[in-house]
């Protein structure tokens, strides 16, 4: 028993300081990893659906929680950010309408001259002998003609058989030839069918058996200031089917435009800030439905994006008349006049600030057209037409606008102011055509 009690067990030694440090660090790492896993799981579960819902507003789709990496890669291929609705509408309109917008090239046979030198003293050498010095004067002589491009404009197709609408000033030269180029580069000879005698509108026809896609004509009476519009045209006669976008800046404007050797006052036009450059004349002004609401006609030189278009409803009248009669006609009174405003009243010392003052033209042209309805009714220079069919004449309700609502042969009543006295007369309107 004593021996058993004297048995000595081997002594166990404690861990060294280095071992204790290692074990401590390892335990901390395990604890941090475990806590991080719990936090990540909690955040993922709590916020995933909220993040997913937020990104879905932008059409960005996240993979589902249980989705594999290969599935995630497949989904990423369909992520996109769409165009705004307005951009999509503009792009759609341009794609659909561009094939119906054409470039009009104007060519003409023009004389060709060559230069030569002439000695004016040569014919005197017979009497005085040769001159001591060489003396030559340049002169020019015609050596035939050649066809040259003298201008360009734009038009758009309005019927399957190739009828085209454009500006009158684009096709004003009766001795020129007109060629139409479509957006695909094909060219067709074109004939001028009719020119509007009052407005800057003309109708052409392509010579082809092909069927064309016409543009849809809208209603210009429904135009709103501020609405988006698109202009397409042969800018500068060089950049075909150039697209510009803007808004309707104003309605019912009256402008004096010049071009093609003519100066013309155009009433009741649309103002827009969509860029209308030289060569855009005759192109369509479109709304976001792809409907033509105007014909681009003029721009203000030296201004920033101030352009004008003729309301399409005015062109509809011309198209219908041509189809019915084969020509465009208007009721015609036969007077030259200026609309009276406060400024005109002051300048001419007039007794009223409204009406139409019958006056000579800028170059002294007669105030009353010979053999016109006005001459037959006894109107005179200096008369003021106050009312037309009992409607007061103002810049907003001009004489030209009132006459345009009538037909040749219509009987109308005019209130006249002459030398301080008012009286009424009946007039049977004449006809004006190209």
Residue 383: pLDDT over 90 = yes
Catalytic residue, candidates 100, 103, 169, 268? 169
Residue 70: pLDDT over 50 = no
Predicted pLDDT at 3: 36
Predicted pLDDT at 1: 35
Active site residue 200: yes
Predicted pLDDT at 291: 95
Measured in Å, how far apart are the chain's first and last C-alpha atoms?
A: 148
Map out the domains of the chain as residue ranges: 220-313, 330-433
Is the distance from CB of 273 to CB of 307 less than 8 angstroms?
A: yes
In the chain, how long is the greatest CA-to-CA distance? 176
Of residues 72 and 19, more confidence is placed in: 19
DSSP codes joined into one string, 213-244: -PPEE--GGG--TT-EEEEEEEETTTEEEEEE
When pLDDT is averaged across residues 19-38 and rounded to a whole number, the result is: 61
Residue 384: pLDDT over 80 = yes
Characterize 122-160 residue by residue with b for buried, 16 or more Cβ atoms within 10 angstroms of its Cβ, and e for exposed: eeeeeeeeeeeeeeeeeeeeeeeeeeeeebbbbbbbbbe
Predicted pLDDT at 198: 83
Q: What percent of the chain has pLDDT over 90?
A: 45
Residue 50: pLDDT over 90 = no
Count of helix runs (H) and strand runs (E) in the chain: 9, 21
pTM equals 0.66
Predicted pLDDT at 78: 45
Catalytic residue, candidates 100, 103, 196, 200? 200
Dihedral of CA atoms 353, 354, 355, 357 in degrees, nearest 10, equals: 30
Q: Report pLDDT digits (tens) over 323-349.
A: 988 889 889 999 999 999 999 999 999
Catalytic residue, candidates 103, 281, 372, 398? 281
Tell me which fold the domain 220-313 belongs to: Thrombin, subunit H (2.40.10)
Predicted pLDDT at 80: 45
Percent helix, strand and coil across the chain, each rounded to 5? 25, 35, 35
Residue 111: pLDDT over 50 = yes
Q: Which residues are 403's β-sheet partners?
A: none
330-433 maps to CATH 2.30.42.10: yes
Predicted pLDDT at 34: 62
């Amino acid at each position: 028993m004593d021996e058993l009690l004297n048995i000595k067990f081997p002594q166990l030694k404690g861990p060294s300081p280095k071992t204790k440090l290692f074990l401590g660090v390892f335990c901390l790492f395990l604890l941090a990893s475990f806590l991080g896993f719990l936090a990540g799981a909690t955040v993922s579960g709590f916020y995933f659906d909220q993040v997913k819902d937020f990104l879905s507003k932008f059409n960005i789709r996240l993979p589902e929680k249980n989705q594999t990496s290969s599935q995630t890669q497949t989904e990423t291929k369909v992520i996109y950010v769409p165009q705004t609705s307005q951009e999509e509408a503009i792009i759609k309109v341009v794609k659909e309408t561009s094939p119906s917008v054409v470039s009009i090239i104007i060519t003409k046979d023009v004389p060709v001259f060559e230069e030569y030198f002439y000695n004016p003293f040569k014919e005197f050498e017979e009497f005085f002998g040769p001159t001591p010095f060489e003396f030559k004067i340049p002169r020019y002589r015609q050596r035939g003609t050649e066809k040259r491009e003298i201008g360009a404009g734009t038009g758009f197709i309005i019927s399957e058989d190739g009828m085209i609408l454009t500006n009158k000033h684009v096709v004003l030269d009766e001795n020129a030839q007109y060629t139409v180029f479509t957006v695909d580069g094909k060219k067709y000879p074109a004939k001028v069918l009719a020119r509007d005698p009052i407005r800057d509108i003309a109708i052409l026809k392509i010579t082809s058996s092909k069927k064309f896609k016409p543009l849809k004509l809208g209603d210009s009476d429904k135009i709103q200031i501020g609405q988006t519009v698109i202009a397409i045209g042969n800018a500068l006669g060089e950049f075909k089917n150039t697209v510009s976008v803007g808004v309707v800046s104003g309605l019912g404007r009256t402008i004096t435009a010049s071009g093609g050797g003519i100066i013309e006052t155009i009433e009741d036009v649309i103002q827009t800030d969509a860029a209308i450059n030289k060569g855009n004349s005759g192109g369509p002004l479109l709304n976001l439905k792809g409907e033509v609401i105007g014909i681009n006609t003029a721009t203000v030189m030296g201004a920033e994006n101030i352009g004008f278009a003729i309301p399409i409803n005015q062109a509809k009248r011309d198209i219908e008349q041509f189809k019915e009669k084969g020509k465009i006609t208007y009721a015609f009174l036969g007077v030259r006049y200026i609309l009276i405003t406060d400024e005109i009243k002051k300048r001419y010392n007039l007794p009223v600030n409204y009406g139409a003052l019958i006056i000579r033209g800028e170059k002294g042209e007669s105030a009353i057209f010979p053999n016109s309805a006005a001459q037959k009714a006894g109107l005179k220079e200096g008369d003021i037409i106050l009312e037309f069919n009992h409607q007061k004449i103002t810049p907003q309700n001009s004489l030209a606008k009132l006459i345009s609502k009538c037909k040749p042969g219509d009987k109308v009543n005019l209130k006249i102011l002459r030398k301080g006295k008012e009286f009424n007369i009946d007039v049977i309107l004449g006809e004006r055509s190209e």
